[in-house]
Amino acid sequence: MSDTVLATRGLHMAFGGLMVFDHLDFSLKQGERHAIIGPNGAGKTTFVSLITGLLRPVSGDVLLDGRVITRDPPQARVKAGIVRTFQINSLFKALNPLESVVLALCERDGRARPALRAVARESALIGEARGLLEQFGLGADALTPTQTLAYGRQRLLEIALAMALKPRVLLLDEPAAGLSTRQGHEVFEQLLRLSAGVTILFIEHDMGLVFRYADQVSVFAGGAIIVQDTPDNVRVNPRVREVYLGA
Amino acid sequence: QESVKIGLLQSFSGITSLSGQQTDGAVKLFMKQNGDTAGGKKIEFVRRDTTGPNPEVARRLVQEVVTREKVQLLIGPDFTPNTLAAAPILMEAKVPSFVNGAATTGIIGEKSSYSSRTFFATPQLCRPLAEYAVKNNWKRVFVAVADFAPGHDCEKYFVEALAAASGVLAGQLRVPLSNPEFSGYMQRIRDAKPDALFIFMPLGELSIGILRAVSDSGLKGSGIKIMGTGDITDETYLDAVGDAAIGTITSGIYSTRHESELNKKFVREYTELNGPSPRIGWTAVSIYDAMRLAYDGLNAQAGGKFDPDKFVSFVHGRSFESPRGPVTIDKGNGDITQNVYIRRTDKVDGVLQNVEIETFKDVGFK
Amino acid sequence: MAAVLTVLFNGIAYGFLLFIMSVGLSVSLGMMNFVNLAQASFSMLGGYAMVAATQRFGVPFLASLPIAFLAAAAASVLIERLVLRHFYDTDDLTQVLLTLGLVFMSIAAVTYFWGGSYQRFDLPAWLTGQQDVLGLTLETYRIFLVLTGALLAALLIFGLERTRFGAMVRACVDNQRVAGACGLNTQLIFAGAFAIGGGLAGLGGALAANLLGLDPNFPLRYLVYILIIVSVGGMGTISGTLAAGLALGTADVMGKYYFPQFGGVAIYAATVAVMLWRPHGLMGRRA
Amino acid sequence: MAPEATPVLEARGLCAGYGAARVLHDVSFSVARGEMLVIIGRNGTGKTTLIETLCGLTTLHGGEIRLEGARIEAMPPHRRSRLGLGWVPQEREVFASLTVEENLTVAARGAAWPLERLYGLFPRLAARKRNFANQLSGGEQQMLVIARALSTGPRLLLLDEPVEGLAPLIVQEMLAAIGAMRASGGTAIVMVEQKYDIALAHSDRCLVLDHGEAVYSGRSADLLADAPGLERLLGVGGQADPG
Amino acid sequence: MSAVPEWFAGKARWSGFEIAFWCALAGAYFLPNIDIALLSQIFIWGLFAMSLDLLLGYRGIASLGHAAFFGAGAYCAGFLGKYGWGEPVSGLLISMLPAAALGWLTGKLVQRVSGVALLMVTLGLNLILFDFVQRSTALTGGDDGLQGIAVDPLLGLFRFDIFGRTAYWYSLGALFALFVFLRAFVHSPFGLALTGSRENARRMIMLGSPVEGDISIVFAVSAAAAAAAGALLTQTTQFVSPATLSFQRSADVLVMLIIGGAGRLYGGLIGALIFLVMKDWLAALSPVYWYFWIGLLLVLVVSFFRKGVLPSLETGMRGLIARLGKARGGGPPA
Ligand SMILES: Nc1ncnc2c1ncn2[C@@H]1O[C@H](COP(=O)(O)OP(=O)(O)OP(=O)(O)O)[C@@H](O)[C@H]1O
Ligand SMILES: Nc1ncnc2c1ncn2[C@@H]1O[C@H](COP(=O)(O)OP(=O)(O)OP(=O)(O)O)[C@@H](O)[C@H]1O
Ligand SMILES: [Mg+2]
Ligand SMILES: [Mg+2]
């Protein structure tokens, strides 16, 4: 168990009268690539939000390296290495990719608070930001305002922003949403190339991606994890076929 | 021909625009009666809008008309804060001014020895009314004033005079400046069971609102006498108060009903010239008197170059007959001594009027 | 005891007055998501329409109320067609600036046509004076206000908030493009909603004129109160506006009776407290 | 009158874009009763623009659109909708301040899709009907938008990436339901889909767009079978990165 | 591509326009028949609007009670002058402190609310403070204003004269100094973080940024700058009254900022210039009905300059330059 990075213990969550999940135990191992699948509304996004602290559970705990972080504010969890992307792009529309990434880097290194030294003097960070954008193939778009970027490019920036923080655990909510099958694969390839050593938890509805890139798959349904297994076993599991995959 | 520039700094817009209209009316009437030259000089006006009690704007406008337009005389600015903010400039530039629309004590004299007041000073109205109340055996008086500096002033003088006349303070309260609702206060006054209620409210929503509330709540019908400074029944707003105002006892410096030949002529010609609405309030008279002092002062130095010091020493100490009655500008500091009238609001020929019922002669400004 | 009950009643009546004054903005802000400060001008217009009808043309007071509604509704639609409809997709502050400009213009225009002084008008005798109800002496006009306000609230809550038309308006506001492509005639729906909002504001002005007085500065004087009531109630819920009106109305009158030394601060302090406690207002919709 | 002869929708020489900017150049196609046409193409090539042009939400620079023979290109969007055009926008544009049920009733017309039938298709929505639409999960919002389009009783359904974010089981059920609609009511479908394998497998004909021009039009089955053709038309994933 | 490493430096560099603008402000003094009193007032309002821009333009939160800070600075300078601290420059600096503290507290209070709630809270706090100042006649002189303020000559040399010459240079100097400070502030990483929070607070949280804590900081800085404007007003007029913290002032400054255009510091200055010059001109031209024309001005500005005058001009200029470039056949290399 010592290689467990992230875990939840008896996590209970409800929105008003709607119970999302009840007593959920989950653990994520160091270096694992773990996919979450499940019917719409099963609580996958909610689960990620609980881990990152954007939502608070009704009861139960979230643990990082065995330490309870349920009451920590989201920022503290980011600093501890838990980083996420969003199901629907959540970017800085008026900033360009360069500014967005430099912003992320300044926050990561805690250089945003002293307030009179110009950004231009942070040449190391600016260089790092350029490198990152090149790696994600966004070099040519570095100065284009985000809101005028094509959707697929925005999706890449969404992931680049998360990577800029040098995460230990990366949570991806449908990273390939809005992309074609082929682009989805490209995004994953790129991501995995750049994220050696990072533990990844991702949500996907595209089974091609799930079965190709995950080591482990958890299936959320009806407020619980009904199956947790390797992709090959999940693919043929009759319960999973019944509630999620279909014929 | 040589000319003299007079600055006219009043509120022509906003909540207080009615005083601006009266200013224009009075100036127009005076010029019609007395021509547009005085002391051989042509009179020119520089008209600016202070937009109400707004000392920052008033000060800048005074600075502007004094340094750029080079006015020699100033009528205004109105309101106490405006007057105070402008005073140092007028002092330094030696520009004589006539204060109207500002009633606080002590703003004339040491703050600016070049000023004279043709308006009135707060105690002038408050003290006689306290005496009058006690004399008529309304001994227990409840005092309600607007909760701002002039209100606090007025409260002080009235309560002082009431105590001096051995009346009793039945209770007091201060009404916030923006206050659409009086019923809680009315109940409080009713609970105190006073003989009379003394009111000071600035002209406008508060003065109208409180008289309507006094009437609607039945306070007026319950035998409590309603009195106040003349603001609450000023002719310009009286019609908007309506019949609720009838029977109110106020102290004031001027009523259109004042019995004198001069006033009858003034009212007749003013109305002919400016129409019946807005009605003539005390701003009109105050401006009219300022114009007369300006003309007299200029005539006194006819032919010569304008000398502000001579002008002031001529104006200070002058007595004359105004439409409101006899008036004296104090020799020492330029403040005003005048008759104060106790009036009752009544319907005369279907129109609400302030009918004078008693006169306090030559009341000082302290 | 009688004094306490009278004060309470007066507070409730004042609450209904605040509700009546604010409901126009509540409709336009809540249903239309349009920060239409010019509603205060439509209130004034309603007041002037009422005064003109009763004083100049001798129309009875009650009959002048629908006239006030219609006049303000017509003006509202006119302004919407000419100006406001170009600003649906702009941000709040732009709308504030735009409609503030309209308020200024309305003030000057009213001064031009009606003069700067307060309007005089007399209520019919049956609405003045006091009535004895259950041993309390209550002001007749306040009783009238409570009844009208309650009727209006019921009408709006069941006739607007809970109906398909209400949903249509909100749909158009949420996403005009999609609403249009779903078959909703957005132009017509917006014009209709503006007519209702403006008309209500006009009615409010006509009913309030007796207690608040009426002059060209009416919109500026009461704008802050209206904003407070609408936001404390929760954007656009009519029941919220009613609740806020009643709560602040009673608090204000009771406060003045029991703690007159606090002056006018009570209502502002209450506003700050409510907004910190429930940022979406007493009955705000969104979680 | 022979219904089979007039297509439900016919577009001829469409040139359209946003303001002065042109995105579509001379695009023509038609859809017959009960037929399903898919539009595929790389990112940013003008698929959404084409759909929105049919709805009347873009600037039309030229061309004509006929719905069952009647010219509609000059009509405002709401009139087109009333003539039977149903639209599922790409970006889950639910009416956020309406409840789920209000979303489904606010624009409802005709008797073809009463609430019960919609809830039958998407039981998940029935469970959440009192919630505000912006509280739904991503997939639930997508279901809601589809159900809302159906509630207007369309004769022609325009679907812009409808299966995005939906669980595989739901996708299957939805495609089955669409198949049933085509068979029974003769509803015609125009669908934009990135996942061209799914799209081609379920449709009759396809139109491939590239840089705003129609570069291929034909039977879906043919294209699906033609691997080199697919590679050439849909190419290396959109505007691929140079690096 | 070479533009990328230069991007931030390019943004922070002083442009020719800027230098010309400041020279023009200084040079205006020497124009014949210029109303320098009005210009001084524009500088003060411009600084005030600029302080609000930090909140609204950069952080995206509107305050409807910004006059509270202006007034705090104004009264603080007034009290200093009244009780013997007549030296203006140090008085100005001291006056910024209490307001900064007040701003910091306000930021703490409102950090969890946004939108309308924030507007109403700031408005409410402003009104409460106004009410307090206006009613405390013993302490503040109430409506009549604080009496007995004395301000020493600037640097011990220049008396504040009735022509307003000293006031002109003093306000311009203070404006420029604070502008340089604020400019550095918004071009720092912290300024970038503020913009990020404005654009997408949720994402900023997910970058680990202390979004709520930042609100207190920006409120404090903004309040201090507003207070400096207030103190300038007191010192140059030797007068302070409750009007300095009225709701009207809060509304006016917001209007100026939006007219000028939020989010570029200069917007506030340009807005103050347009608004005050128009107001002065209209009020002199048509004292009774100038309200109408100022209203019309607002309507026209938002109709034809959606984002404010300055941004619209910028876009127009850029379009023009691009067209000129094309006409010459060149155009910038991609
Ligand atoms: N703020 C909220 N208020 C009320 N209910 C909510 C809220 N957020 C989510 N829900 C509900 O909680 C359930 C779980 O939502 P969640 O977004 O976690 O689903 P999901 O598994 O990510 O689904 P999808 O695959 O469709 O994205 C859904 O039924 C949703 O409607
Ligand atoms: N509102 C708009 N204003 C201006 N240009 C736009 C607008 N929307 C889209 N465009 C441009 O029109 C072109 C076509 O966009 P469209 O959304 O139709 O592409 P698409 O094929 O649907 O792409 P995707 O697969 O990403 O959905 C793109 O270059 C895009 O930048
Ligand atoms: Mg999800
Ligand atoms: Mg698209």
Q: Which ligand is nearest to the CA of D52?
A: 2
How far is residue C269 CA from its own chain's centroid?
22
Contact C110, C103 (CB under 8 A): no
Give the pLDDT confidence score for residue E334 in this predicted structure.
Answer: 34
Q: Which residues surround ligand 3, an ion (CB under 5 A)?
A: A 45, 87; D 137-138
* 8-state DSSP, E334: -
E235 φ, ψ (degrees, to nearest 5)? -70, -35
Q: How many CB atoms lie within 10 A of CB B361?
A: 10
The residue with tokens 């411009």 is E46
ipTM: 0.86
E57 close contact with A: CB closer than 8 A: no
- Mean per-residue pLDDT for C202-222? 88
What is d(CA C43, CA C68) in angstroms, rounded to the nearest whole number?
Answer: 9
Determine which residue's CA is closest to atom 14 belonging to ligand 2: D46
Q: Look at phi and psi of residue E172 and say left if phi exceeds 0, alpha if psi is from -120 to 50, else beta.
A: alpha
pLDDT grade, residue B107 (50/70/90)? Answer: confident
E111 close contact with A: CB closer than 8 A: no
For residue E45, what are its two tokens?
A: 């309002």
Contact E205, A75 (CB under 8 A): yes
- Mean per-residue pLDDT for C34-41? 87
What is d(CA E316, CA E186) in angstroms, rounded to the nearest whole number?
Answer: 24
Pocket test for ligand 2, best of A146, A149, A151 (most atoms within 8 A of CB): A151
Q: How many CA atoms lie within 13 A of E18 on its CB side?
A: 13
Determine which residue's CA is closest to atom 23 belonging to ligand 2: D44
The residue with tokens 């510091």 is E265
- Mean per-residue pLDDT for D211-216? 87
Determine which residue's CA is closest to atom 18 belonging to ligand 2: D46
Helix (H) or strand (E) holding B162: helix B149-164
Helix (H) or strand (E) holding C116: none
Give the pLDDT confidence score for residue C20 in this predicted structure.
Answer: 87
Considering only CB atoms, which residues of chain D are within 8 Å of chain A? 42-44, 92, 124, 128, 131, 135-140, 142-143, 161, 164-173, 194-197, 234, 236-239, 241-243
Is A184 or E226 the better-scoring residue by pLDDT? E226
pLDDT grade, residue C1 (50/70/90)? Answer: low
* pLDDT tens sequence across C138-179: 888 889 999 999 999 998 888 777 778 888 888 888 888 898
Strands D70-71 and D59-67: antiparallel
pLDDT grade, residue D241 (50/70/90)? Answer: very low
> Testing the interface with C: which of B21, B24, B181, B274 to mutate, by most C Cβ within 10 A?
B181
Helix (H) or strand (E) holding B174: strand B168-175
Which member of C102, C227, C269 has the closest CB to residue E295? C102
* 8-state DSSP, C113: H
CA distances from E105 to C91, C113, E221 (A): 28, 48, 12
**Atom number, ligand 1, closest to the C-alpha of residue A42:** 21
Map A108-134 to HEC letters: HCCCCCCCCCCHHHCHHHHHHHHHHHH
Determine which residue's CA is closest to atom 6 belonging to ligand 2: D18
- Mean per-residue pLDDT for A155-168? 88
User: For chain A, how big is the Rg over CA atoms in Å?
Assistant: 19
Contact B145, B155 (CB under 8 A): yes
Of B10-19, B200-209, C58-67, the poorest mean pLDDT is in: B10-19
pLDDT at E195 over 60: yes
pLDDT at D239 over 70: no
Helix (H) or strand (E) holding E265: none
pLDDT grade, residue E149 (50/70/90)? Answer: confident
Give the pLDDT confidence score for residue B204 in this predicted structure.
Answer: 82
Which residues have CB under 8 Å from D212's CB, separation 6+?
D22, D23, D24, D25, D27, D45, D46, D49
Contact E22, A133 (CB under 8 A): no
Q: How many domains does chain C have?
A: 1
DSSP secondary structure, D102-121, as one string: HHHHTT--SSSS-HHHHHHH
Chains C and D lie in contact, requiring 3 or more CB pairs less than 8 Å apart: yes
Instruction: Determine, for residues E243 and B149 on separate chains, whether the beta-carbon distance falls below 8 Å.
Output: no
Give the pLDDT confidence score for residue E1 in this predicted structure.
Answer: 43
* pLDDT tens sequence across E265-286: 898 999 999 999 988 888 878 7
Strands D205-210 and B140-146: unpaired
What is d(CA A171, CA D209) in angstroms, rounded to the nearest whole number?
Answer: 35
Instruction: Determine, for residues C128 and B187 on separate chains, whether the beta-carbon distance falls below 8 Å.
Output: no
What is d(CA B93, CA B87) in angstroms, rounded to the nearest whole number?
Answer: 10
Interface list for C 163-222 with D (CB within 8 A): 164, 167-168, 170-171, 173-175, 177-186
Q: Which of A85-99, A167-181, C64-78, D81-95 has the highest mean pLDDT?
A: C64-78
Task: Name the residue in chain D with its Cα closest to that of A37.
Answer: D167
What is d(CA B293, CA B315) in angstroms, rounded to the nearest whole number?
Answer: 7
- Mean per-residue pLDDT for B119-134? 91
pLDDT at E332 over 50: no
pLDDT at B15 over 70: no
> Testing the interface with B: which of C106, C118, C217, C259 to mutate, by most B Cβ within 10 A?
C118
Which residues have CB under 8 Å from D194's CB, separation 6+?
A178, A179, A180, A181, D40, D161, D164
What is d(CA B254, CA B341) in angstroms, rounded to the nearest whole number?
Answer: 8
Is A46 or E318 the better-scoring residue by pLDDT? A46
**Atom number, ligand 1, closest to the C-alpha of residue A39:** 25
Give the pLDDT confidence score for residue C78 in this predicted structure.
Answer: 92
For residue C117, what are its two tokens?
A: 């002084």
pLDDT at B251 over 50: yes
Instruction: Determine, for residues C184 and D56 on separate chains, whether the beta-carbon distance falls below 8 Å.
Output: no
Contact D41, D208 (CB under 8 A): yes
C117 close contact with E: CB closer than 8 A: no
- Mean per-residue pLDDT for E32-61? 91
Cis peptide bond N-terminal to A97, omega within 30: no
For residue C148, what are its two tokens?
A: 């009208």
Instruction: Report how far ligand 3's centroid is from the alpha carbon of D106 (Å).
Output: 26
Helix (H) or strand (E) holding B130: helix B122-135
pLDDT at B328 over 80: yes
Instruction: Determine, for residues C222 and B180 on separate chains, whether the beta-carbon distance falls below 8 Å.
Output: yes
Q: What is the mean pLDDT of chain A?
A: 86
Instruction: Determine, for residues E128 and C268 on separate chains, whether the beta-carbon distance falls below 8 Å.
Output: yes
- Mean per-residue pLDDT for A52-69? 88
pLDDT grade, residue B294 (50/70/90)? Answer: very high
* Domain assignment of residue C283, yes or no: no
For residue B103, what are its two tokens?
A: 């009633």
Map chain A to HEC letters: CCCEEEEEEEEEEEECCEEEEEEEEEEEECCCEEEEECCCCCCHHHHHHHHHCCCCCCEEEEEECCEECCCCCHHHHHHCCEEECCCCCCCCCCCCHHHHHHHHHHHHCCCCCCCCCCHHHCHHHHHHHHHHHHHCCCHHHCCCCHHHCCHHHHHHHHHHHHHHCCCCEEEEECCCCCCCHHHHHHHHHHHHHHCCCCEEEEECCCHHHHHHHCCEEEEEECCEEEEEECHHHHHHCHHHHHHHHCC
Which residue range(s) make up the domain with C114?
Answer: 2-277
pLDDT at E331 over 70: no
Give the pLDDT confidence score for residue A153 in this predicted structure.
Answer: 82
Instruction: Report how far ligand 1's centroid is from the alpha carbon of A11 (Å).
Output: 16
- Mean per-residue pLDDT for D153-174? 87
* 8-state DSSP, B109: B
Q: How far is A238 from chain E (nearest CA, A)?
A: 38
pLDDT grade, residue B14 (50/70/90)? Answer: low
Which member of D138, D143, D194 has the closest CB to residue A87? D138
What is d(CA B4, CA A96) in angstroms, rounded to the nearest whole number?
Answer: 64
Which member of A40, A178, A246 has the closest CB to residue D124? A40
Q: Express as a percent the part of chain C with pLDDT over 70.
A: 97
Helix (H) or strand (E) holding B359: strand B351-363
E255 close contact with C: CB closer than 8 A: yes
What is d(CA E221, CA D65) in angstroms, rounded to the nearest whole number?
Answer: 58
Which residues have CB under 8 Å from E299's CB, separation 6+?
C83, C98, C101, C102, C105
pLDDT at A1 over 50: no
Give the pLDDT confidence score for residue E274 in this predicted structure.
Answer: 92
For residue B127, what are its two tokens?
A: 């003290």
DSSP secondary structure, E4-47, as one string: HHHHHHHHHSPPHHHHHHHHHHHHHTTSTT--HHHHHHHHHHHH
Determine which residue's CA is closest to atom 24 belonging to ligand 2: D43
Pocket test for ligand 1, best of A11, A13, A18 (most atoms within 8 A of CB): A18
Task: Name the residue in chain D with its Cα closest to that of A184.
Answer: D237
For residue E12, what are its two tokens?
A: 């922070």
Q: Burial of E30 by CB count in 10 Å (0-12 exposed, 13-18 middle, 19+ buried)?
A: exposed
Instruction: Determine, for residues E143 and B64 on separate chains, whether the beta-carbon distance falls below 8 Å.
Output: no
Task: Name the residue in chain B with its Cα closest to that of E34.
Answer: B68
E37 φ, ψ (degrees, to nearest 5)? -65, -45
pLDDT grade, residue A2 (50/70/90)? Answer: low
Q: What is the mean pLDDT of chain C?
A: 86
Pocket test for ligand 2, best of D27, D45, D61, D159 (most atoms within 8 A of CB): D45
Instruction: Determine, for residues B181 and C253 on separate chains, whether the beta-carbon distance falls below 8 Å.
Output: yes
The residue with tokens 């029935």 is D126
- For residues B124-155, one letter each, b for 16 or more C-beta atoms within 10 angstroms of the residue's C-beta and e for the rest, the string is bbbbbbbbbbbeeebbbbbbbbbbbbbbbbbb
Instruction: Determine, for residues C279 and E289 on separate chains, whether the beta-carbon distance falls below 8 Å.
Output: no
Give the pLDDT confidence score for residue C25 in this predicted structure.
Answer: 86
What is d(CA C41, CA C216) in angstroms, rounded to the nearest whole number?
Answer: 9
Q: How many CA atoms lie within 13 A of E235 on its CB side?
A: 36
**Domain D1-84+156-161+187-237 = CATH 3.40.50.300:** yes
pLDDT grade, residue E67 (50/70/90)? Answer: very high
Pocket test for ligand 1, best of D122, D131, D137 (most atoms within 8 A of CB): D137
Give the pLDDT confidence score for residue D238 in this predicted structure.
Answer: 38
Instruction: Map out the domains of chain A with their CATH numbers.
Output: 1-81+167-247 (3.40.50.300), 91-166 (no CATH)
Instruction: Report how far ligand 3's centroid is from the alpha carbon of C235 (Å).
Output: 29
Domain parsing of chain D, residue ranges = 1-84+156-161+187-237
Of A122-126, A229-233, C259-263, E216-220, the poorest mean pLDDT is in: C259-263
Give the pLDDT confidence score for residue D5 in this predicted structure.
Answer: 62
* Domain assignment of residue C186, yes or no: yes
Domain parsing of chain E, residue ranges = 35-253
Give the pLDDT confidence score for residue C285 in this predicted structure.
Answer: 61
pLDDT at E55 over 50: yes
For residue E323, what are its two tokens?
A: 């067209």
Of C87-96, D149-158, E233-242, the poorest mean pLDDT is in: C87-96
Contact E44, E232 (CB under 8 A): yes
Map E95-141 to HEC letters: HHHHHHHHHHHHHHHHCCCCHHHHHHHHHHHHHHHHHHHHHCHHHHC
Collapsing DSSP to helix, strand or coil, C185 comes out as coil
pLDDT grade, residue E53 (50/70/90)? Answer: very high
Cis peptide bond N-terminal to B96, omega within 30: no
Considering only CB atoms, which residues of chain E are within 8 Å of chain B? 33, 35, 37-38, 41, 131, 134-135, 137, 141-145, 147, 162-164, 233, 237-239, 241, 243-244, 283-284, 287-291
What is d(CA E129, CA E246) in angstroms, rounded to the nearest whole number?
Answer: 9
Chain E positions touching C269 (Cβ under 8 A) are 124, 128
Give the pLDDT confidence score for residue E326 in this predicted structure.
Answer: 64
- Mean per-residue pLDDT for A167-181? 86
pLDDT grade, residue E104 (50/70/90)? Answer: very high
